């Protein structure tokens, strides 16, 4: 067995280990029920013998009835215990995956497809439900029942046992060659389902854009192709599973016919009692259940191993250390320094930052300007350690960010993203995301500072109003103000604003500029700016071009000394303010 497959087996049994007591109890109960089933053909033989000898049949009939009812009741109890254990396995598997997903580095999540990740958490873990519990018990119980049946068949007639064994062995060889194909087909089917989820997630993420573009039919065509691929792989997996199931049932029926022919001849020549032949035939049919259980177990195990391999692809990814909520001990503004930093994104040939060096003192506001792709947002991603530099070092308070405990580093920084995400949660939960212990008094103070009081008064349940998925019911400016309020509520020593006022109207932008200017007295503020109004009030402006620092200085100084800055100020940095002559 290859290392890859043995590792998958270990992980599969690892999922079952916490439920081993429930599984053991279910196995014992199921085995007892199976033993009661094994006794039923013998009880039927006793009924036939009593009828043949004109003896009372009440006792053997009551015994047979008791065995049938008892086996059914025991099976029900065993099934409940198995289902309970199975749900526990799914819960643990999903918890493990979700906890790991949220600790993946940003670089890994950027590389993966969200829809496929969701498929692994939902669809793949469901396959583990049966494989790690019911399959194991059914395989063990089915093996014991077949062994018990074989022993009783041997006692009834060794010749008929040989006939049965020859047919079943042939089938086992054929089925064994097909089982591995089920695992591969199932893995491909799950992969196709994940790809379909990724396509659907993409469409839902741009739902309004698709409708506004009249692109529903084109996106439907893409989704249809993804769904068709998933269907094709699912049909392939179903075909192999059906073939194995048919062969297992066929082996029992062929065995029955062979036993009937040979046994009938032996009854005719007087070497075998008729009751023994009937009992033997009942055992042949009784074997149908454990054989089917073993075949299903083999199929389900292959499906489970396929799911394990897909979930394992997440478990082997590197993760960041746990970052519990941390309250920084220092309160003064932080200093920032980049020293000869170079960085390129994975699979990107061109560097985004190239030998970049700059320094910002504690407190005050520093603005980064430059054409799109100059590296402004990347600077913030490196400060948050969403990515690590390829060369050079980044220092906060003179300490390399790679030496900071990750929780402490991120607790020092307030970050307002360019895409201003709003969670599908209450306004209160959105604001307290980075400051879970913030009081309502502090929340209301920040709401006023960011001019969210109008929104708060219009929400039906105030802070406890649920916001739509991704804040879709809010305006872009409202989402930006919520994101800024969230960052301020954390009381950061370093505040990163990535085009944080791009969707605000002039009145709210002016007010927030005043808030930021006030913050800059006690906090270091770094701004990636696309608006001239943001840049004018900065203590220093860094002009970036193709990942390099082109110039730095104040607004007035750069207008008179740097051609690129003059062009940006006249075009990209939207005006409303006079441009000073060079």
pLDDT tens for residues 407-432? 889 889 989 887 777 877 888 988 88
| DSSP strand pairing (540-545 vs 391-396) | unpaired
3-class DSSP assignment, residue 355: strand
pTM value surpassing 0.85: no
The structure tokens listed for 126 are: 């469901």
Overall fold of domain 336-422+494-570: Rossmann fold (3.40.50)
The segments of the chain whose pLDDT lies below 50 read 1, 574-582
| Helices 288-315 and 158-205, axial angle in degrees (round to 10) | 30
| DSSP strand pairing (413-416 vs 391-396) | unpaired
Which pLDDT value is given to residue 72? 76
DSSP letter string over 108-157? HHHHS-HHHHHHIIIIIHHHHHIIIIIHHHHHHHHHHHHHHHHHHHHHH-
Is 407:324 a contact under the CB 8 Å cutoff? Answer: yes
The structure tokens listed for 516 are: 């930021």
**Tens-place pLDDT, residues 441-485:** 899 988 888 888 888 888 888 888 888 766 777 877 788 888 888
| DSSP strand pairing (364-369 vs 413-416) | unpaired
Residues in Cβ contact with 471 at an 8 Å cutoff, skipping those fewer than 6 apart: 420, 421, 422, 423, 478, 479, 482
Give me the sheet containing 548-553, strands edge to edge: 413-416, 494-498, 524-528, 364-369, 540-545, 548-553
The structure tokens listed for 42 are: 């013998």
In this structure, what is the dihedral angle of CA atoms 565, 571, 576, 578, given to the nearest 10 degrees? 50
**Tens-place pLDDT, residues 135-187:** 767 777 777 777 777 787 788 888 887 877 777 777 667 666 666 677 677 77
**Tens-place pLDDT, residues 489-528:** 888 999 999 877 666 677 777 777 777 888 888 889 999 8
Pick the CATH number of 3-315 from 1.20.1250.20, 1.20.1560.10, 3.40.630.30, 3.40.1390.10: 1.20.1560.10
Q: Which of 35, 296, 262, 264 is nearest to 147 (CA)?
A: 35
Q: Where does residue 113 rank: exposed (0-12), middle (13-18), buried (19+ CB within 10 A)?
A: middle
Which pLDDT value is given to residue 206? 66
> Residue 325, Cβ neighbours under 10 Å: how many?
11
> For the chain, what are the domain ranges?
3-315, 336-422+494-570
Taking the C-alpha atoms of residue 281 and residue 163, their distance in angstroms, rounded to an integer, is 12
Domains 3-315 and 336-422+494-570 share a fold: no
Taking the C-alpha atoms of residue 394 and residue 405, their distance in angstroms, rounded to an integer, is 14
């Amino acid at each position: 067995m290859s290392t890859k497959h043995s590792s998958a087996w270990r992980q599969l049994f690892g999922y079952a280990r916490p439920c081993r007591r429930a599984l053991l109890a279910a196995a014992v109960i199921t085995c007892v029920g199976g033993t009661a089933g094994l006794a039923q053909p013998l009880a039927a033989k006793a009924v036939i013998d009593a009828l043949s000898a004109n003896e009372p049949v009440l006792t053997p009939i009551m015994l047979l009835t008791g065995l049938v009812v008892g086996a059914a009741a025991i099976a029900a109890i065993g099934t409940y215990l198995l289902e309970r254990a199975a749900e526990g396995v799914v819960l643990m598997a999903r918890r493990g995956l979700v906890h790991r997903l949220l600790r993946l580095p940003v670089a890994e999540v950027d590389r993966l497809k969200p829809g496929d990740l969701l498929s692994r958490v939902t669809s793949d873990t469901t396959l583990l439900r049966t494989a790690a519990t019911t399959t194991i018990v059914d395989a063990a119980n089915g093996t014991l029942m077949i062994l018990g049946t074989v022993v009783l068949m041997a006692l009834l007639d060794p010749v008929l046992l040989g006939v049965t064994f020859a047919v079943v062995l042939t089938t086992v060889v054929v089925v064994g060659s097909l089982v591995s194909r089920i695992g591969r087909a199932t893995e491909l089917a799950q992969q196709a389902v994940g790809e379909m989820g990724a396509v659907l997630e993409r469409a839902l993420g741009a739902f309004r854009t698709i409708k506004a573009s009249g692109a529903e039919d084109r996106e439907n065509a893409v989704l249809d192709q993804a769904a068709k691929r998933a269907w094709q792989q699912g049909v392939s997996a179903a075909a192999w599973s059906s073939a194995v199931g048919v062969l297992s049932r066929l082996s029992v029926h062929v065995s029955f016919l062979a036993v009937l022919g040979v046994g009938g001849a032996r009854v005719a020549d007087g070497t075998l009692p008729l009751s023994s032949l009937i009992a033997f035939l009942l055992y042949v049919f009784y074997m149908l259940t454990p054989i089917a259980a073993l075949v299903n177990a083999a199929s389900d195990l292959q499906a489970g191993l396929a799911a394990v391999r897909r979930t394992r692809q997440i478990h082997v990814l590197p993760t960041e250390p746990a970052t519990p909520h941390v309250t920084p001990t220092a309160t003064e503004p932080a200093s920032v320094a980049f020293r000869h930093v170079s960085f390129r994104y994975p699979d990107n040939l061109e560097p985004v930052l190239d030998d970049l060096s700059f320094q910002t003192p504690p407190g005050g506001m520093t603005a980064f300007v430059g054409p799109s792709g100059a590296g402004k947002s990347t600077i913030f991603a490196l400060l948050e350690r969403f990515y690590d530099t390829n060369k050079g070092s980044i220092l906060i308070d003179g300490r390399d960010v790679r030496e900071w405990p990750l929780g402490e580093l991120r607790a020092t920084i307030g970050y307002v993203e360019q895409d201003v995400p709003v969670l599908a949660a209450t306004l209160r939960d959105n604001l307290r995301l980075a400051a879970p212990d913030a009081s309502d008094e502090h929340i209301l103070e920040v709401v006023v500072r960011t001019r969210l009081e109008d929104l708060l008064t219009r929400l039906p349940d105030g802070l406890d109003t649920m916001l739509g998925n991704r804040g879709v019911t809010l305006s872009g400016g409202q989402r930006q103000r919520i994101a800024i309020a969230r960052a301020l509520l954390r009381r950061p020593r370093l505040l990163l604003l990535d085009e944080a006022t791009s969707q605000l109207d002039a009145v709210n932008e002016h007010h927030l500029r005043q808030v930021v200017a006030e913050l800059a007295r006690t906090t270091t503020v770094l701004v990636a700016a696309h608006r001239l109004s943001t840049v004018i009030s900065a203590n220093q402006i860094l002009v970036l071009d193709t990942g390099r620092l082109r110039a730095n200085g104040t607004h007035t100084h750069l207008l008179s000394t740097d051609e690129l800055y003059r062009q940006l100020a006249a075009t990209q940095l939207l005006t409303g303010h006079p441009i000073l002559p060079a």
